[in-house]
Structure 1
Protein backbone atom coordinates (compact mmCIF):
# COMPACT_ATOMS: atom_id res chain seq x y z
CA UNK A 1 0.00 0.00 0.00
CA UNK A 2 1.30 3.46 -0.91
CA UNK A 3 2.25 5.53 2.13
CA UNK A 4 0.14 8.64 2.70
CA UNK A 5 2.07 11.70 3.86
CA UNK A 6 0.13 14.72 5.10
CA UNK A 7 1.40 18.22 4.32
CA UNK A 8 -0.12 20.92 6.51
CA UNK A 9 -1.07 24.27 5.01
CA UNK A 10 -1.22 27.18 7.45
CA UNK A 11 -2.17 30.73 6.42
CA UNK A 12 1.17 32.01 5.09
CA UNK A 13 2.66 28.61 4.15
CA UNK A 14 4.83 28.98 1.04
CA UNK A 15 6.41 25.58 0.49
CA UNK A 16 3.50 23.20 0.97
CA UNK A 17 3.22 22.44 -2.76
CA UNK A 18 6.97 21.89 -2.99
CA UNK A 19 6.80 19.46 -0.07
CA UNK A 20 3.91 17.62 -1.73
CA UNK A 21 5.94 17.29 -4.91
CA UNK A 22 8.93 15.90 -3.00
CA UNK A 23 6.66 13.36 -1.31
CA UNK A 24 5.30 12.32 -4.69
CA UNK A 25 8.74 12.02 -6.26
CA UNK A 26 9.83 9.79 -3.38
CA UNK A 27 6.99 7.40 -4.16
CA UNK A 28 4.41 8.32 -1.52
CA UNK A 29 0.99 9.93 -1.82
CA UNK A 30 0.74 13.51 -0.54
CA UNK A 31 -2.39 14.42 1.41
CA UNK A 32 -3.26 18.10 1.91
CA UNK A 33 -4.10 18.94 5.52
CA UNK A 34 -5.71 22.27 6.41
CA UNK A 35 -4.62 24.00 9.62
CA UNK A 36 -8.18 24.58 10.83
CA UNK A 37 -9.27 20.93 10.69
CA UNK A 38 -8.40 18.79 13.75
CA UNK A 39 -8.07 15.63 11.67
CA UNK A 40 -4.91 14.01 10.28
CA UNK A 41 -7.06 11.86 7.98
CA UNK A 42 -5.20 8.68 8.90
CA UNK A 43 -1.91 9.67 7.28
CA UNK A 44 1.28 7.74 7.95
CA UNK A 45 3.49 10.83 8.45
CA UNK A 46 3.28 14.61 8.36
CA UNK A 47 5.39 17.42 6.91
CA UNK A 48 5.12 20.93 8.37
CA UNK A 49 6.38 23.11 5.49
CA UNK A 50 8.25 26.36 5.30
CA UNK A 51 6.73 29.80 5.01
CA UNK A 52 5.35 32.42 7.36
CA UNK A 53 2.52 30.73 9.26
CA UNK A 54 -0.01 33.28 10.49
CA UNK A 55 2.32 36.02 9.26
CA UNK A 56 4.94 35.13 11.91
CA UNK A 57 3.04 37.33 14.36
CA UNK A 58 4.29 37.22 17.97
CA UNK A 59 7.10 34.76 17.07
CA UNK A 60 7.65 32.41 14.18
CA UNK A 61 5.41 29.38 14.76
CA UNK A 62 3.94 30.76 17.99
CA UNK A 63 0.37 30.91 16.69
CA UNK A 64 0.59 27.83 14.46
CA UNK A 65 1.25 25.64 17.50
CA UNK A 66 -2.36 26.31 18.56
CA UNK A 67 -3.91 25.40 15.19
CA UNK A 68 -6.63 22.70 15.46
CA UNK A 69 -4.59 20.29 13.31
CA UNK A 70 -1.91 20.29 16.01
CA UNK A 71 -4.35 18.85 18.58
CA UNK A 72 -3.97 15.41 17.02
CA UNK A 73 -0.46 15.83 15.68
CA UNK A 74 1.29 16.72 18.94
CA UNK A 75 0.26 13.69 21.06
CA UNK A 76 0.79 11.27 18.14
CA UNK A 77 4.26 12.67 17.49
CA UNK A 78 5.18 12.75 21.17
CA UNK A 79 4.26 9.07 21.53
CA UNK A 80 6.71 8.13 18.78
CA UNK A 81 3.95 6.78 16.52
CA UNK A 82 3.81 9.60 13.98
CA UNK A 83 6.86 10.64 11.91
CA UNK A 84 6.92 14.43 11.53
CA UNK A 85 9.34 16.59 9.55
CA UNK A 86 9.31 20.32 10.21
CA UNK A 87 11.14 22.36 7.57
CA UNK A 88 12.19 25.97 8.32
CA UNK A 89 8.95 27.50 9.63
CA UNK A 90 7.84 23.95 10.39
CA UNK A 91 10.94 23.56 12.58
CA UNK A 92 9.92 26.72 14.40
CA UNK A 93 6.41 25.29 14.93
CA UNK A 94 7.86 22.09 16.39
CA UNK A 95 9.98 24.07 18.85
CA UNK A 96 7.02 26.24 19.85
CA UNK A 97 4.98 23.06 20.35
CA UNK A 98 7.73 21.67 22.64
CA UNK A 99 8.12 18.61 20.43
CA UNK A 100 11.73 19.72 19.94
CA UNK A 101 14.01 21.67 22.29
CA UNK A 102 15.53 25.07 21.64
CA UNK A 103 14.32 27.98 19.56
CA UNK A 104 14.99 29.66 16.23
CA UNK A 105 15.91 33.34 16.45
CA UNK A 106 16.98 36.10 14.08
CA UNK A 107 20.00 35.34 11.93
CA UNK A 108 23.15 36.76 13.49
CA UNK A 109 23.61 38.97 10.40
CA UNK A 110 20.04 40.29 10.79
CA UNK A 111 19.66 39.55 7.08
CA UNK A 112 17.52 37.06 5.19
CA UNK A 113 19.65 34.25 3.73
CA UNK A 114 18.80 32.53 0.44
CA UNK A 115 21.48 30.23 -0.97
CA UNK A 116 22.52 26.68 -1.74
CA UNK A 117 23.99 25.43 1.52
CA UNK A 118 26.32 22.50 2.26
CA UNK A 119 25.00 20.51 5.21
CA UNK A 120 26.58 17.54 6.99
CA UNK A 121 24.31 14.70 8.11
CA UNK A 122 25.22 13.81 11.70
CA UNK A 123 22.59 11.20 12.58
CA UNK A 124 21.02 8.51 10.43
CA UNK A 125 19.02 7.08 13.32
CA UNK A 126 15.82 8.96 12.46
CA UNK A 127 12.76 8.25 10.36
CA UNK A 128 13.89 10.97 7.95
CA UNK A 129 17.65 10.38 7.53
CA UNK A 130 18.21 6.62 7.48
CA UNK A 131 19.09 6.60 3.75
CA UNK A 132 22.11 8.85 4.34
CA UNK A 133 25.46 7.92 5.85
CA UNK A 134 26.82 9.62 8.97
CA UNK A 135 29.17 12.42 7.97
CA UNK A 136 27.75 12.67 4.45
CA UNK A 137 27.77 16.21 3.07
CA UNK A 138 24.77 17.25 1.02
CA UNK A 139 23.80 20.48 -0.73
CA UNK A 140 20.30 21.80 -0.18
CA UNK A 141 18.64 25.22 0.02
CA UNK A 142 18.76 27.56 3.01
CA UNK A 143 16.29 30.46 2.93
CA UNK A 144 15.32 32.06 6.21
CA UNK A 145 15.55 35.19 8.30
CA UNK A 146 15.15 33.47 11.66
CA UNK A 147 17.16 30.27 11.42
CA UNK A 148 19.59 30.80 14.27
CA UNK A 149 19.16 27.71 16.49
CA UNK A 150 19.72 28.51 20.15
CA UNK A 151 19.48 26.53 23.39
CA UNK A 152 21.21 26.57 26.76
CA UNK A 153 24.45 24.64 27.19
CA UNK A 154 22.81 21.82 29.14
CA UNK A 155 20.29 21.25 26.34
CA UNK A 156 22.97 21.38 23.67
CA UNK A 157 25.14 18.93 25.62
CA UNK A 158 22.21 16.52 25.93
CA UNK A 159 21.43 16.77 22.21
CA UNK A 160 25.07 15.95 21.46
CA UNK A 161 25.28 13.14 24.00
CA UNK A 162 22.10 11.44 22.82
CA UNK A 163 22.90 11.73 19.12
CA UNK A 164 19.95 14.01 18.43
CA UNK A 165 21.86 16.55 16.35
CA UNK A 166 20.63 15.47 12.92
CA UNK A 167 22.50 17.94 10.71
CA UNK A 168 25.08 20.72 10.92
CA UNK A 169 26.12 23.43 8.53
CA UNK A 170 29.36 22.52 6.78
CA UNK A 171 31.83 25.22 7.72
CA UNK A 172 30.63 28.26 9.65
CA UNK A 173 26.92 28.47 10.37
CA UNK A 174 25.65 31.24 8.06
CA UNK A 175 22.93 32.24 10.53
CA UNK A 176 24.97 31.96 13.74
CA UNK A 177 23.30 28.74 14.92
CA UNK A 178 24.91 27.41 18.09
CA UNK A 179 27.37 24.58 17.42
CA UNK A 180 26.46 24.86 13.75
CA UNK A 181 23.20 22.99 14.28
CA UNK A 182 20.92 22.84 11.24
CA UNK A 183 18.53 20.15 12.48
CA UNK A 184 17.63 18.12 15.56
CA UNK A 185 15.35 15.23 16.48
CA UNK A 186 13.28 14.15 19.45
CA UNK A 187 14.29 11.19 21.59
CA UNK A 188 12.32 8.69 19.49
CA UNK A 189 13.82 9.89 16.20
CA UNK A 190 10.38 10.22 14.60
CA UNK A 191 10.28 14.03 14.86
CA UNK A 192 12.91 16.02 12.99
CA UNK A 193 13.24 19.78 12.59
CA UNK A 194 15.46 21.07 9.80
CA UNK A 195 16.15 24.70 8.92
CA UNK A 196 17.39 24.15 5.32
CA UNK A 197 14.90 22.96 2.69
CA UNK A 198 15.37 19.42 1.33
CA UNK A 199 12.19 19.74 -0.77
CA UNK A 200 13.97 22.34 -2.94
CA UNK A 201 16.71 19.86 -3.82
CA UNK A 202 14.84 16.91 -5.30
CA UNK A 203 15.21 17.56 -9.06
CA UNK A 204 18.21 18.56 -11.17
CA UNK A 205 16.11 21.04 -13.16
CA UNK A 206 14.93 23.14 -10.24
CA UNK A 207 17.40 22.63 -7.39
CA UNK A 208 21.11 22.80 -6.67
CA UNK A 209 21.15 18.99 -6.39
CA UNK A 210 18.88 16.04 -5.70
CA UNK A 211 20.45 15.54 -2.27
CA UNK A 212 17.23 16.40 -0.41
CA UNK A 213 15.16 13.58 -1.86
CA UNK A 214 16.51 11.00 0.58
CA UNK A 215 14.80 12.75 3.48
CA UNK A 216 11.57 11.55 1.91
CA UNK A 217 12.77 8.13 0.71
CA UNK A 218 14.14 7.60 4.24
CA UNK A 219 10.60 8.01 5.53
CA UNK A 220 9.35 5.30 3.18
CA UNK A 221 12.15 2.97 4.31
CA UNK A 222 11.21 3.69 7.92
CA UNK A 223 7.53 2.97 7.33
CA UNK A 224 8.34 -0.26 5.49
CA UNK A 225 10.51 -1.45 8.38
CA UNK A 226 7.90 -0.45 10.98
CA UNK A 227 4.60 -1.72 9.56
CA UNK A 228 2.84 -1.49 12.90
CA UNK A 229 3.60 2.21 13.39
CA UNK A 230 1.10 3.69 10.90
CA UNK A 231 -1.73 1.61 12.40
CA UNK A 232 -1.23 3.42 15.70
CA UNK A 233 -1.98 6.77 14.08
CA UNK A 234 -5.56 7.94 14.58
Structure 2
Protein backbone atom coordinates (compact mmCIF):
# COMPACT_ATOMS: atom_id res chain seq x y z
CA UNK A 1 0.00 0.00 0.00
CA UNK A 2 1.37 3.41 -1.00
CA UNK A 3 2.13 5.73 1.86
CA UNK A 4 1.17 9.40 1.51
CA UNK A 5 4.15 11.72 1.77
CA UNK A 6 4.11 14.44 4.39
CA UNK A 7 6.29 17.55 4.36
CA UNK A 8 6.90 18.81 7.91
CA UNK A 9 8.13 22.36 7.43
CA UNK A 10 11.22 23.50 9.34
CA UNK A 11 12.45 27.00 10.09
CA UNK A 12 14.46 28.74 12.80
CA UNK A 13 12.75 28.23 16.16
CA UNK A 14 10.45 25.36 15.14
CA UNK A 15 10.71 22.72 17.88
CA UNK A 16 7.69 20.45 17.52
CA UNK A 17 8.68 18.89 14.22
CA UNK A 18 9.62 15.48 15.64
CA UNK A 19 6.28 15.28 17.46
CA UNK A 20 4.52 15.82 14.13
CA UNK A 21 6.75 13.26 12.43
CA UNK A 22 5.95 10.68 15.10
CA UNK A 23 2.20 11.29 14.82
CA UNK A 24 2.13 11.01 11.04
CA UNK A 25 4.35 7.92 11.04
CA UNK A 26 2.03 6.28 13.56
CA UNK A 27 -0.81 7.12 11.18
CA UNK A 28 0.95 5.31 8.32
CA UNK A 29 2.58 8.12 6.34
CA UNK A 30 6.07 8.62 4.97
CA UNK A 31 7.33 11.82 6.57
CA UNK A 32 10.17 14.19 5.69
CA UNK A 33 11.38 17.21 7.63
CA UNK A 34 12.07 19.90 5.05
CA UNK A 35 13.58 23.30 5.75
CA UNK A 36 11.80 26.31 4.29
CA UNK A 37 15.03 27.32 2.52
CA UNK A 38 15.16 23.95 0.77
CA UNK A 39 11.74 24.64 -0.71
CA UNK A 40 12.52 28.28 -1.47
CA UNK A 41 15.60 27.23 -3.46
CA UNK A 42 13.54 24.57 -5.31
CA UNK A 43 15.93 21.85 -4.16
CA UNK A 44 12.66 20.19 -3.21
CA UNK A 45 9.12 21.24 -4.16
CA UNK A 46 5.72 20.73 -2.60
CA UNK A 47 4.67 18.73 -5.66
CA UNK A 48 6.43 15.74 -4.08
CA UNK A 49 3.99 15.65 -1.14
CA UNK A 50 0.33 15.09 -0.42
CA UNK A 51 0.24 16.68 3.05
CA UNK A 52 1.97 19.84 4.30
CA UNK A 53 2.41 20.23 8.05
CA UNK A 54 3.19 23.51 9.80
CA UNK A 55 4.37 22.31 13.24
CA UNK A 56 4.54 24.18 16.51
CA UNK A 57 7.38 26.04 18.11
CA UNK A 58 8.58 29.62 18.20
CA UNK A 59 9.51 30.38 14.60
CA UNK A 60 12.07 33.18 14.45
CA UNK A 61 11.69 33.62 18.21
CA UNK A 62 8.12 34.97 17.85
CA UNK A 63 9.74 38.33 17.02
CA UNK A 64 7.31 41.04 15.85
CA UNK A 65 4.41 38.63 16.51
CA UNK A 66 4.09 34.88 16.71
CA UNK A 67 4.42 33.31 13.28
CA UNK A 68 4.66 36.65 11.47
CA UNK A 69 8.23 36.44 10.15
CA UNK A 70 7.82 32.90 8.83
CA UNK A 71 4.48 33.91 7.29
CA UNK A 72 6.20 36.81 5.50
CA UNK A 73 8.98 34.54 4.27
CA UNK A 74 6.44 32.08 2.90
CA UNK A 75 4.43 34.90 1.34
CA UNK A 76 7.34 36.09 -0.78
CA UNK A 77 9.09 32.76 -1.39
CA UNK A 78 6.51 29.96 -1.45
CA UNK A 79 2.95 31.28 -1.56
CA UNK A 80 2.39 30.35 -5.21
CA UNK A 81 3.57 26.79 -4.49
CA UNK A 82 1.26 26.60 -1.48
CA UNK A 83 -1.76 27.88 -3.41
CA UNK A 84 -1.07 25.36 -6.18
CA UNK A 85 -0.77 22.67 -3.50
CA UNK A 86 -4.27 23.56 -2.26
CA UNK A 87 -5.66 23.76 -5.80
CA UNK A 88 -4.39 20.22 -6.40
CA UNK A 89 -6.70 18.99 -3.63
CA UNK A 90 -3.98 18.35 -1.07
CA UNK A 91 -4.03 18.82 2.70
CA UNK A 92 -2.48 21.43 4.98
CA UNK A 93 -2.41 21.14 8.78
CA UNK A 94 -1.03 23.70 11.21
CA UNK A 95 -0.70 23.37 14.98
CA UNK A 96 0.03 26.17 17.46
CA UNK A 97 2.78 28.24 15.82
CA UNK A 98 1.81 26.56 12.57
CA UNK A 99 -1.75 27.84 13.00
CA UNK A 100 -0.40 31.32 13.73
CA UNK A 101 1.65 31.18 10.53
CA UNK A 102 -1.34 30.03 8.46
CA UNK A 103 -3.59 32.80 9.78
CA UNK A 104 -1.01 35.52 9.23
CA UNK A 105 -0.16 34.20 5.78
CA UNK A 106 -3.85 34.38 4.84
CA UNK A 107 -4.48 30.66 4.29
CA UNK A 108 -7.32 30.76 6.82
CA UNK A 109 -10.23 31.31 6.59
CA UNK A 110 -9.66 31.25 2.83
CA UNK A 111 -13.03 32.65 1.80
CA UNK A 112 -13.88 32.05 -1.88
CA UNK A 113 -10.47 30.52 -2.49
CA UNK A 114 -8.62 33.66 -1.35
CA UNK A 115 -5.49 32.38 0.39
CA UNK A 116 -3.66 35.71 0.34
CA UNK A 117 -5.71 37.98 2.63
CA UNK A 118 -5.30 38.04 6.41
CA UNK A 119 -8.75 38.42 7.98
CA UNK A 120 -8.07 37.09 11.50
CA UNK A 121 -5.18 36.88 13.91
CA UNK A 122 -3.88 35.10 16.99
CA UNK A 123 -2.66 37.40 19.71
CA UNK A 124 -1.65 37.55 23.39
CA UNK A 125 -3.62 35.48 25.90
CA UNK A 126 -6.04 37.47 28.04
CA UNK A 127 -4.39 35.95 31.12
CA UNK A 128 -1.19 37.80 30.27
CA UNK A 129 0.86 34.65 30.71
CA UNK A 130 2.01 31.52 28.93
CA UNK A 131 -0.64 28.78 29.19
CA UNK A 132 0.81 25.27 29.33
CA UNK A 133 -1.76 22.63 30.36
CA UNK A 134 -4.46 20.28 29.12
CA UNK A 135 -7.83 21.58 27.91
CA UNK A 136 -11.15 20.20 26.76
CA UNK A 137 -12.28 20.71 23.17
CA UNK A 138 -15.66 20.32 21.51
CA UNK A 139 -15.76 19.24 17.86
CA UNK A 140 -18.20 20.71 15.35
CA UNK A 141 -19.59 17.57 13.72
CA UNK A 142 -21.22 19.68 10.98
CA UNK A 143 -17.84 20.89 9.77
CA UNK A 144 -16.39 19.68 6.46
CA UNK A 145 -12.94 19.45 8.04
CA UNK A 146 -11.15 16.30 6.87
CA UNK A 147 -9.01 16.09 10.01
CA UNK A 148 -11.89 15.75 12.50
CA UNK A 149 -14.11 13.26 10.66
CA UNK A 150 -15.44 10.62 13.03
CA UNK A 151 -14.56 12.58 16.15
CA UNK A 152 -18.00 12.99 17.66
CA UNK A 153 -17.05 13.61 21.26
CA UNK A 154 -15.13 16.29 23.04
CA UNK A 155 -11.36 15.92 23.38
CA UNK A 156 -8.72 16.44 26.03
CA UNK A 157 -5.37 17.66 24.68
CA UNK A 158 -2.61 20.08 25.73
CA UNK A 159 -2.13 23.75 24.90
CA UNK A 160 1.23 25.47 25.08
CA UNK A 161 1.21 29.09 23.97
CA UNK A 162 1.45 32.73 24.92
CA UNK A 163 -0.33 34.13 21.86
CA UNK A 164 -3.30 31.84 21.29
CA UNK A 165 -6.23 34.24 21.41
CA UNK A 166 -8.19 33.93 18.17
CA UNK A 167 -9.36 37.43 17.30
CA UNK A 168 -11.49 38.82 14.49
CA UNK A 169 -11.95 42.57 14.13
CA UNK A 170 -14.86 42.51 11.67
CA UNK A 171 -18.11 40.93 12.80
CA UNK A 172 -18.97 39.98 9.22
CA UNK A 173 -15.90 37.74 9.06
CA UNK A 174 -16.81 35.98 12.31
CA UNK A 175 -20.41 35.54 11.20
CA UNK A 176 -19.30 33.99 7.93
CA UNK A 177 -16.84 31.60 9.58
CA UNK A 178 -19.61 30.45 11.91
CA UNK A 179 -22.31 30.16 9.23
CA UNK A 180 -19.92 28.22 6.96
CA UNK A 181 -19.18 25.76 9.79
CA UNK A 182 -15.50 26.66 9.48
CA UNK A 183 -15.22 26.79 13.27
CA UNK A 184 -14.01 23.21 13.73
CA UNK A 185 -13.12 22.99 17.42
CA UNK A 186 -13.88 25.14 20.45
CA UNK A 187 -12.67 25.24 24.04
CA UNK A 188 -15.15 23.89 26.58
CA UNK A 189 -15.37 22.58 30.13
CA UNK A 190 -15.27 18.92 31.13
CA UNK A 191 -18.99 18.55 30.44
CA UNK A 192 -18.76 19.93 26.91
CA UNK A 193 -20.20 23.35 27.80
CA UNK A 194 -18.63 26.55 26.53
CA UNK A 195 -17.07 28.49 29.39
CA UNK A 196 -14.59 31.25 30.11
CA UNK A 197 -11.14 31.09 31.68
CA UNK A 198 -9.53 28.75 32.59
CA UNK A 199 -11.44 26.46 30.21
CA UNK A 200 -10.91 28.98 27.42
CA UNK A 201 -7.18 29.42 28.10
CA UNK A 202 -6.60 32.53 26.02
CA UNK A 203 -9.87 34.46 25.62
CA UNK A 204 -10.50 33.42 22.01
CA UNK A 205 -13.67 34.86 20.51
CA UNK A 206 -16.49 32.30 20.63
CA UNK A 207 -14.04 29.90 22.33
CA UNK A 208 -12.52 29.18 18.90
CA UNK A 209 -9.58 26.77 19.06
CA UNK A 210 -9.34 25.75 15.40
CA UNK A 211 -10.74 26.70 11.99
CA UNK A 212 -10.64 25.31 8.47
CA UNK A 213 -11.01 26.79 5.03
CA UNK A 214 -14.22 26.26 3.07
CA UNK A 215 -12.95 23.01 1.53
CA UNK A 216 -12.13 21.40 4.89
CA UNK A 217 -8.68 20.45 3.58
CA UNK A 218 -6.78 23.37 5.12
CA UNK A 219 -6.98 23.34 8.92
CA UNK A 220 -5.24 24.97 11.84
CA UNK A 221 -5.62 24.71 15.61
CA UNK A 222 -3.86 26.02 18.72
CA UNK A 223 -3.99 22.85 20.89
CA UNK A 224 -1.54 20.01 20.27
CA UNK A 225 -3.15 16.73 19.12
CA UNK A 226 0.33 15.37 18.34
CA UNK A 227 0.98 15.41 22.10
CA UNK A 228 -1.70 12.80 22.74
CA UNK A 229 -0.85 9.92 20.40
CA UNK A 230 -0.04 7.23 22.96
CA UNK A 231 -2.14 6.60 26.02
CA UNK A 232 0.95 7.17 28.19
CA UNK A 233 0.93 10.80 27.04
CA UNK A 234 -2.23 11.36 29.10
CA UNK A 235 -1.54 12.94 32.52
CA UNK A 236 -3.84 10.41 34.22
CA UNK A 237 -2.98 7.33 32.19
CA UNK A 238 -2.34 5.19 35.27
CA UNK A 239 -5.49 6.23 37.12
CA UNK A 240 -8.48 5.13 35.06
CA UNK A 241 -9.95 3.46 32.01
CA UNK A 242 -8.75 5.16 28.85
CA UNK A 243 -8.75 4.04 25.20
CA UNK A 244 -5.67 2.26 23.88
CA UNK A 245 -4.74 5.15 21.59
CA UNK A 246 -4.58 8.85 22.31
CA UNK A 247 -7.45 10.85 20.85
CA UNK A 248 -5.04 13.14 19.02
CA UNK A 249 -4.04 10.32 16.67
CA UNK A 250 -7.38 10.51 14.85
CA UNK A 251 -6.47 13.87 13.29
CA UNK A 252 -3.47 12.27 11.60
CA UNK A 253 -5.21 9.02 10.70
CA UNK A 254 -7.94 11.01 8.95
CA UNK A 255 -5.40 13.00 6.95
CA UNK A 256 -3.44 9.93 5.86
CA UNK A 257 -6.58 7.99 4.94
CA UNK A 258 -7.92 10.91 2.90
CA UNK A 259 -4.62 11.39 1.09
CA UNK A 260 -4.38 7.69 0.29
CA UNK A 261 -7.95 7.41 -1.00
CA UNK A 262 -8.41 10.77 -2.71
CA UNK A 263 -4.98 12.03 -3.78
CA UNK A 264 -2.74 9.02 -4.40
CA UNK A 265 -5.56 7.19 -6.17
CA UNK A 266 -6.05 9.99 -8.73
Give the TM-score, by structure 2 length. Answer: 0.80
Following superposition, the deviation at residue 73 of structure 1 comes to: 4.6
Match of 1:180 in 2: 207
Gapped regions of structure 2 (runs ≥ 5):
40-44, 110-119, 190-194, 236-244
Match of 1:166 in 2: 184
Match of 1:110 in 2: 128
Cα RMSD (Å) of the superposition? 1.9
The CA distance in 1 between the partners of 2:150 and 2:251, in whole Å, is 8
Structure 2 residue 91 is the aligned partner of structure 1 residue 90: no
Report the structure, 1 or 2, having the larger helix content.
2
Residue from 103, 119, 122 that aligns with 2:140: 122
Structure 2 residue 221 is the aligned partner of structure 1 residue 221: no
Q: Secondary structure at the match of 2:20?
A: helix
Structure 2 residue 84 is the aligned partner of structure 1 residue 48: no
The CA distance in 1 between the partners of 2:133 and 2:85, in whole Å, is 31
Structure 2 residue 4 is the aligned partner of structure 1 residue 3: yes
Match of 1:155 in 2: 173
Following superposition, the deviation at residue 139 of structure 1 comes to: 0.7
> Do the aligned residues in 2 keep the contact of 1:80 with 1:188 (CA within 8 Å)?
no
Moved over 6 A (4+): none
Residue from 57, 70, 74 that aligns with 1:64: 70
Following superposition, the deviation at residue 207 of structure 1 comes to: 3.6
> Do the aligned residues in 1 keep the contact of 2:131 with 2:162 (CA within 8 Å)?
yes
Structure 1 stretch 119-128 or stretch 67-76: which is displaced more?
A: 67-76
Q: Secondary structure at the match of 1:17?
A: helix
Give the TM-score, by structure 1 length. Answer: 0.91
Match of 1:13 in 2: 14
> Do the aligned residues in 2 keep the contact of 1:118 with 1:169 (CA within 8 Å)?
yes
The CA distance in 1 between the partners of 2:249 and 2:88, in whole Å, is 23
Following superposition, the deviation at residue 74 of structure 1 comes to: 2.5
> Do the aligned residues in 2 keep the contact of 1:31 with 1:43 (CA within 8 Å)?
no
Structure 2 residue 222 is the aligned partner of structure 1 residue 198: no
Structure 2 residue 158 is the aligned partner of structure 1 residue 141: yes
> Do the aligned residues in 1 keep the contact of 2:212 with 2:220 (CA within 8 Å)?
yes
